[in-house]
A = this chain, B = another copy of it.
Amino acid sequence: MVRLASRLLMFAVACLVAGHVYAEDGYDLWLRYRAPVGATATHRAVPRIDARSRSPSIIAAADELRRGVAGLSAAQQAALGTIVVATAGDPRVRALDLRVAPLGDEGYLVRTVTLGGARVTLVTANSDQGALYGSFALLRHAYAGGDLRAVSLSSAPHVRLRILDHWDNLDGSVERGYAGQSLWEWWTLPDYRDPRYTDYARANASIGINGVVLNNVNSSADSLTARYITKAAALADVFRPYGIRVYLSARFSAPIELGGLASADPLDPRVAAWWRAKTDEIYRAIPDFGGFLVKANSEGQPGPRDYHRTHAEGANMLAAAVRPHGGVVMWRAFVYADTDPDDRAKQAYTEFKPLDGRFADNVIVQVKNGAIDFQPREPFHPLFGAMPRTALMPEFQITKEYLGQATHLAYLGPLFAETLGADTMAQGPGSTVARIIDGSLYPHGLTGIAGVANVGRDRDWSGSTFNQANWYAFGRLAWDPTLDPRAIAREWAAMTFAPAVADRIAAMMMPSREAVVDYMTPLGLAHLMATGHHYGPGPWVSDLKRPEWNPVYYHRADRNGIGFDRTASGSNAVAQYAAPLARRLSDPATTPTDELLWFQHLRWDHAMPSGRTLWAELVHHYDAGVAQVDVMRQQWNALRSQIDAERWAKTATFLDIQAREAAWWRDASIAYWSSINRMPLPAGTRPPAHDLRWYEAQRFPHAPGNPQ
């Protein structure tokens, strides 16, 4: 025993000494699997994992359970007993006569049962992939502090395609990526398969993500060459056991660039034949290839409109190519024409609404959550509810292009939930976006949800610990759009830090996105970011080529008032919403305050429900946003003793940066509005630290994450 103890001590010392053994550098994400500090108790043997299938997904599930259960306390381990992982076809499971039909292809059931006379924890499902999801659900339950003596968990995903869109370029850069280079080391693929690819797949599977678009929607045709297909196939091989399919962004003009054709006209049989052959080639390398994502005729990308064809004609041509293989086409509705002087917020609807019912049934139209572009807050996109005969999937941005990038703490769970819970009124009250995209309002076989990934090669994947929560929350809401973002935050915090701090961390996270809205673009303002990067304010910018690229296009501030009139007296964008909603949004009195200036142009002295003038209300919101960041700093400071030093310090530093930049946003914005309305600052307002000229002169030529 002494010798054993001595050896263990040696090992323990070696563990502690070896540089980053306990380096909490964030790499482990929410799969940390560490017992809370102080949770020792008497040790017992790690519970047995009984997983007899040799399917790769079941092996992955058993590996994960071994890894995860070993980090639980002895009491937790005892409560679990043996963990049996078996699909519903297993005779032992069949004998239990469980209700597995509602689980569908991907759902799971985890339950404490008696099997062969012993009390065990059973993880079951109709598929291996479901069993993998169930294993992660059990670990989530355990690490969030759930009771393990009588487990009863069951869930099935509400939507079929739960996708991460990577805006990763072949040169390793990531458009709007703030966490380092692309995870994909294209140069050493397919030979070298970085163990990190597997950890990426584990993280995704743990939250139910089942598809990954590898390359940027602003895509290079090279992604479709034989050389890159082989590389993509290697990633698909790594991801397959985790139930993750690979998709590719397709450049619509590839038949010209790669095929030497004179045209990419979707109705040209040679073009269709080229895509069929290319698709067949991809499926030979990747038999479970998911399909294509296409950004067409948008921001300079080629598309069917170049040949006077509709988006539907373009999408359907590609859909025909992938159909024999069971693939899908995700076609983006993010379009605005450089020739159309109409309100940019209206253009996607104008172009796509007439195409309702014209898309093949393996096409799903991917619609951004709002009608502009991933702003801190946007009203839900009017296409939701407006295309009953078309499968629609929302596209969220997990990467915080407009919400403070890597450094600002902004938990996006409330943003995602706000859109998903928005009532389109399309079929009367209760016609939420969630019910449209899960196929329950208008039945569609194809359902989906996409998020622009926020992961890169930074050690902590997402550039900051709290950005990991946005990846997590996206996955959880993609699985079940009705989940409560606060519960998700608690769950994430418990796994990422410890159950003891979960409530306090969730409390810190919940108001964080609203704080960003407040100090950047309060009261429905939008798109006021600087030129060339989105790190700071640029409400004064008016010199960009296209009108709708300029912040002044969006805020329309002048001596008398501010806001974009989208009522009947203005662009009448409100008419794109269901009639009762359109009516509500036409009247300042019934428009939600937080969307007010999105829909109305109002006088600076407009009386707000608070009793303040609009001008005073604006300033009040800026101040509230800045103040909330200070609250977060205090909350984080109070957590210092309960968080490991490395992650605590990084977040503390980032909160300092956020406080400085929040003040920058507030001060620059107030300085600018003052110069426009020439009104005195509301009484008691702290004047901006610098004059407007100073803010206008700020330049950041090497800001990360911008397109090359």
Contact = CB atoms under 8 A, between A and B. Distances in A.
Contacts of A8: 5, 8-9, 11-12
Interface string A43-86: 10010000000000000000000110011001000000000000
A74 B222 CA distance: 57
Given A657-B188, A703-B187, A19 B40 contact: no
A288 to B, nearest CB: 24
A42 B650 CA distance: 40
B19 A21 contact: no
B18 A33 contact: yes
A646 interface: yes
Contacts of A33: 17-19
A187 to B, nearest CB: 5
Interface residues of A: mostly helix, strand, loop or mixed?
Answer: loop
Nearest to A228: B702
A35 interface: yes
A14 B22 CA distance: 10
B653 A192 contact: yes
A104 to B, nearest CB: 31
Given A5-B4, A40-B7, A27 B20 contact: yes
A300 interface: no
A643 to B, nearest CB: 15
Interface string A183-207: 0001110011001100100000000
Q: How many copies does the complex hold?
A: 2
A704 interface: yes
A458 to B, nearest CB: 8
Contact of A17 (B1, B71, B656): B71
Nearest to A458: B457
Given A33-B19, A654-B192, A1 B12 contact: no
Contacts of A131: none
A167 to B, nearest CB: 15
A407 B187 CA distance: 10
A14 B191 contact: no
A545 B8 CA distance: 67
A34 B188 CA distance: 29
Given A8-B8, A18-B33, A180-B180, A222 B701 contact: yes
A567 interface: no
Interface string A21-32: 101010110011
A172 interface: yes
Contact of A6 (B18, B21, B42, B199): B42
A13 interface: yes
A303 to B, nearest CB: 23
Contact of A19 (B4, B28, B220, B654): B28
A269 to B, nearest CB: 29
A170 interface: yes
Contacts of A19: 27-28, 31, 33, 67, 199
Given A1-B2, A457-B180, A704-B172, A657 B14 contact: no
A582 to B, nearest CB: 43
A6 B43 contact: yes
B10 A43 contact: yes
A181 interface: yes
Contacts of A559: none
A18 B34 contact: yes
Interface in A148-173: 169-172
A483 interface: no
A15 B5 contact: no
Contacts of A67: 17, 19
A406 interface: yes
Contact of A406 (B13, B34, B170, B188): B188
Given A172-B704, A187-B704, 15 more contacts: A1-B1, A9-B43, A10-B43, A12-B12, A13-B43, A14-B70, A17-B66, A19-B33, A20-B27, A25-B195, A187-B406, A188-B407, A188-B653, A191-B656, A191-B657
8 contacts: A13-B46, A17-B70, A18-B28, A18-B71, A21-B21, A181-B457, A195-B646, A708-B708
Closest 7 CB pairs of A and B: A8-B8, A15-B15, A17-B70, A170-B702, A5-B5, A6-B43, A192-B653
